[in-house]
Amino acid sequence: METDNLYDDDVTKGVARTSIFVAASRAIITQKYLNLINSDTLNKDPTLHGGPSNNNTGSAYNSNNNNQYNSNINNKIKEIEIQHAREIITKGIFQPHLISHNDISFIRDQICIYDPFAVFFLDSVDSKKLLIDSFSKFYSSSTDNDIKDKECQMFSEFVEKSHPLNSWLEFLSKRSISRIGFRTKYIDQVLMDSLSVRGSVPTSFFYTQVVFCGAGLDSRALRLPIPAHVSVFEIDLPSVMDYKKKVLETAQKYIQPVSSCRLEHIAGNLVQDDRWISSLLDSGFNSAMHTLWIMEGLLMYLNENEISNLMNSISLLSAPNSKLLIHTVSPSLKESMSMSSNSDISPFIKFPQEEFVSYHSNPVELLEQYGFSKDTTCVSYVDLNSQFECNDPQFQKSSFSKFSTGIFTG
């Protein structure tokens, strides 16, 4: 696929479409979370929403004091989320057990996240079109056009008569949904832990700016209890931002945000030009302040030159002690894909096979290359499976993704 096509100005094409896949996974996991709340499981078992266990090594959570602090933060978030979820259940906005317990039992309770906004991205013409087109492209079991057309017609009819959650659950693989759960929960915790770090003055906080590069349909700036002194900047393609703002405008008529932060949506292309920088500054971003940068599900779609330009820009915009989180994939993924038969590969994995451009065996080196060399951390899905005490056999061996953080040294 030509690189330019990755940045197609259509939310159902190129990189932009993956944001709907991620939203679908988060919506399904949220449904499991609502089931747990409705059955009072979360209150009965306090370990289900806590932080990572104390047996971590090489992770962002590597001291007993920090683990205790994380636990306090997570418990507070849990209280806020449960109260918010009970309110929307009472209002009838969400229906517990819309999906049967058995159908989502594969999702470990420990990685359940609460994203009540995600489902709104699925109930649209764009989302249904993407789902049906993706089925046609990736899921049809026959090369015979007549049979393929019949399969696609049957799935299209299923989508039209079913709740969006059931339609996407039918399409997405269990493993891909769980991956989104792991990565979402981990990044949630990195974000909230970072925002809880105190500044030099006891009454102040260290990080007051968060920038999501390639934000997609992420709703952390609405669903997490981010305080009012924090400014969040979300940057993505115009098509994504237009779709996101339109859907969230509707969603917020029914669901009040948990967050109190100042939120700025910035439409721009992070790699084809640097106009996003002036837009960011015009929106109130202050390069002299400590910033948390988050690049989730982005770098693997960029070539090395694009990564270099983007990382250089972030370095120039970062005050010393700013933090960067990057999400990368390993070269072993590419090798695994080449050795697997087509029938072994789920549709959600076939997208990377077509569109992933860059692979990093040691992402910490990438952080260090651009100045984010202090207190570096790196975790994989295998690490998170252990840290969250999920014991999911699908994530006990190899892992193709890594999540790495580093502090900018200037």
Secondary structure of the chain in the HEC alphabet?
A: CCHHHHHCCCCCCHHHHHHHHHHHHHHHHHHHHHHHHHCCHHHHCHHHHCCCCCCCCCCCCCCHHHHHHHHHHHHHHHHHHHHHHHHHHHCCCCCCCCCCCHHHCCCCHHHCCCCCCHHHHCCCHHHHHHHHHHHHHHHCCCCCHHHHHHHHHHHHHHHHHCCHHHHHHHHCCHHHHHHHHHHHHHHHHHHHHHHCCECCCCCCECCCEEEEECCCCCCHHHHCCCCCCCEEEEEECHHHHHHHHHHHHHHCCCCCCCCCCEEEEEECCCCCCCHHHHHHHHCCCCCCCCEEEEECCCHHHCCHHHHHHHHHHHHHHCCCCCEEEEEEECHHHHHHHHHCCHHHCCHHHHHHHHHCCCCCCCHHHHHHHCCCCEEEEEEEHHHHHHHCCCCCHHHCCCCCEEEEEEECCC
pLDDT band at residue 220, thresholds of 50, 70 and 90? very high
Closest alpha carbon to 379 in 359, 365, 399: 399
Report pLDDT for 349. 52
Residue 60 has pLDDT above 50, yes or no: no
Residue 315 has pLDDT above 80, yes or no: yes
Report pLDDT for 70. 66
Distances (CA, A) of 29 to 4, 48, 294, 366, 385: 33, 14, 22, 32, 16
Q: What is the pLDDT of residues 111-135, one digit of tens each?
A: 999 999 999 999 888 888 888 888 8
Report pLDDT for 403. 98
Better-scored residue on pLDDT, 345 or 171? 171
Using an 8 Å Cβ cutoff, are 329 and 274 in contact? no
Closest alpha carbon to 188 in 266, 268, 73: 73
Residue 65 has pLDDT above 70, yes or no: no
Report pLDDT for 344. 44
What mean pLDDT, rounded, does the chain reach?
A: 85
Q: What is the mean pLDDT of residues 226-250?
A: 95
Residue 339 has pLDDT above 60, yes or no: no
Distance CA 211, CA 8 (A): 23
Give the pair of three-digit tokens for residue 311. Answer: 């990382």
Q: Among all chains, which residue has been given the structure tokens 């590969």?
A: 345
Report pLDDT for 158. 92
pLDDT band at residue 230, thresholds of 50, 70 and 90? very high
Q: What is the mean pLDDT of residues 17-32?
A: 94
Least confident among 12-16, 63-67, 146-150, 237-241: 63-67
Report pLDDT for 298. 95
Report pLDDT for 185. 97
Report pLDDT for 59. 40
Residue 226 has pLDDT above 60, yes or no: yes
Residue 341 has pLDDT above 70, yes or no: no
Give the pair of three-digit tokens for residue 376. Answer: 């570096």
Residue 71 has pLDDT above 90, yes or no: no
Distance CA 147, CA 160 (A): 20
pLDDT band at residue 43, thresholds of 50, 70 and 90? low
Using an 8 Å Cβ cutoff, are 221 and 258 in contact? no
Residue 66 has pLDDT above 70, yes or no: no
Give the pair of three-digit tokens for residue 201. Answer: 């003055």
Better-scored residue on pLDDT, 407 or 144? 407
Report pLDDT for 350. 55
Residues in Cβ contact with 190 at an 8 Å cutoff, skipping those fewer than 6 apart = 60, 294, 325, 403, 405
Least confident among 91-95, 150-154, 176-180: 91-95
| Residue 242: count of CB within 10 angstroms of its CB | 15
Least confident among 31-45, 184-198, 284-298: 31-45
pTM across the whole model: 0.88
Q: What is the mean pLDDT of residues 284-288?
A: 98
- Give bridge partners of residue 58 from the DSSP assignment: none
pLDDT band at residue 373, thresholds of 50, 70 and 90? very high
Residue 360 has pLDDT above 60, yes or no: yes
